[in-house]
Amino acid sequence: MWDDIRQRGVLRIGTPGDYAPYSLTDTDHHRRGADIAQAREIAVSLGMRAEFVPTSWAALLDDARAGRFDIAVGGISITPERQAVVAFTKPYLQDSKQPLVRCGEEPRFDSRAGINSPAVRLIVNRGGTNEAFARRQFPRALLTVHPDNRTVFDEIVARRADVMVTDGVEARLQQAKGLGLCAVRVGRWMPAGKAILVQKDAALRKAIDSALRTLGGRRGYARRLSAWIEDYAHPADPATSQLATLIDERLALVIEVARYKWNTGAAIEDPPREQALLASLRERAASMGVPASRVDAFFLAQIEAAKQLQRELFERWKREDREKFPGMADLATSIRPGIDAVTSQMLQTLAKIPAQPARLPLSSTISGISEGAVRTARAPLLQPGT
């Protein structure tokens, strides 16, 4: 399997996309979160393109059996049921279940006995470890299985439910939002490791574990996760968040450009194309009321970030004595149209945000090979007047 993935040059990554701060997919199908950033970086470190595949908690194992993805991320806990079907990397986080209730009601729900009562309206999301834990530990509670993990906490705020027992990180995030929900201090209920789900292939698992080590292991992930909790608890405006996500997506496509140029020996620098792109963007921006100076500041940074990432990849591949990548798509007819589409979305989104956003989202909080390129690409959003 690992050899096939390397030949394909694409790492297929399943994710439910409904579990902040790990993985969240918005209405425009942009994906953000600590696990999404980590998965993108793993793909970069392996010299591959990340391709995200939607799944759900209820369908996770069935989709794995069907071979719809190579790995899966999004706050996935290691359980015996899952281990019977798939493999896991070494855990990058340890967590346990924790009750989440309306602030001021913590003493009522600080024990299993307090929750396991017909008078308690317990709510869970469908299909994951939260539902399994609730059914096993609280059979006497009035259980509601909510279909949408994004809105399940609203039911507690609206007093249609009393408590949800969820992972400690998620409880911490919901408390940080300041919407009147508080995590209840209890012992370690159902301790479990968070890890990357991997198809049962020893070489694939070894490659992903190795990539995780290069990203700093548990300590590196803990730092990124804390940043993401803050980001989700106090988000930037939607347009700025979208622009930061588009920066990620464009850099991910640049990996394909680098692979093509590595195969063909083409130069990283292409000044005529850069100037033509900027001229086209200035012309389109004028009709949107975006000053040319702002277009130049933002998109020159994207161009430089793309070249920076390509140089980093080339240096890495030289050290590895990398051969040509098989099965590469054509740059002009396949790869560049995708980059151009993202660039157009960037321009449209740039027109919607203030010249100096109050706060930059952290969708690009990743480390390792692309950290410098990401910082370059994001720099205009941190500078007044751009």
Q: Tens of pLDDT along 101-142? A: 999 999 999 999 999 999 999 999 888 889 999 999 999 999
Q: What is the DSSP string of 52-74?
A: EEE--TTTHHHHHHTT--SEE-S
Lowest mean pLDDT among 180-184, 278-282, 321-325: 321-325
Number of helical H runs and strand E runs in the chain: 15, 14
User: What's the angle, vertex CA 188, arms to CA 107 and CA 130, rounded to 5?
Assistant: 85
Report whether 144 contacts 128 (CB < 8 A): no
Q: Is the pLDDT of residue 364 over 60?
A: no
**Mean pLDDT score of the chain:** 88
pLDDT digits (tens, 9 = 90+) for 137-180: 999 999 999 988 889 999 999 999 999 999 999 999 999 888 99
% of the chain surpassing 90 pLDDT: 58
User: What's the angle, vertex CA 72, arms to CA 93 and CA 39, rounded to 5?
Assistant: 70
Distances (CA, A) of 208 to 122, 214, 241: 37, 10, 28
Identity of the highest mean pLDDT range in 185-199, 237-251, 372-386: 185-199
Q: Is the pLDDT of residue 357 over 80?
A: no
Distances (CA, A) of 167 to 82, 94, 195: 17, 10, 14
Report whether 58 contacts 127 (CB < 8 A): yes
Q: Which domains does the chain have, with CATH numbers?
A: 2-92+195-233 (3.40.190.10), 95-192 (3.40.190.10), 238-382 (1.20.59.10)
CB atoms within 10 A of CB 83: 12
pLDDT digits (tens, 9 = 90+) for 18-51: 888 999 887 767 788 899 989 988 988 887 888 9
Question: Which residues sit opposite 296 in a β-bridge?
Answer: none
State the Cα–Cα distance between residues 112 and 188, nearest whole angstrom: 12
Q: Is the pLDDT of residue 384 over 60?
A: no
pLDDT digits (tens, 9 = 90+) for 189-238: 989 899 999 999 999 999 999 999 887 888 888 888 888 888 777 766 77
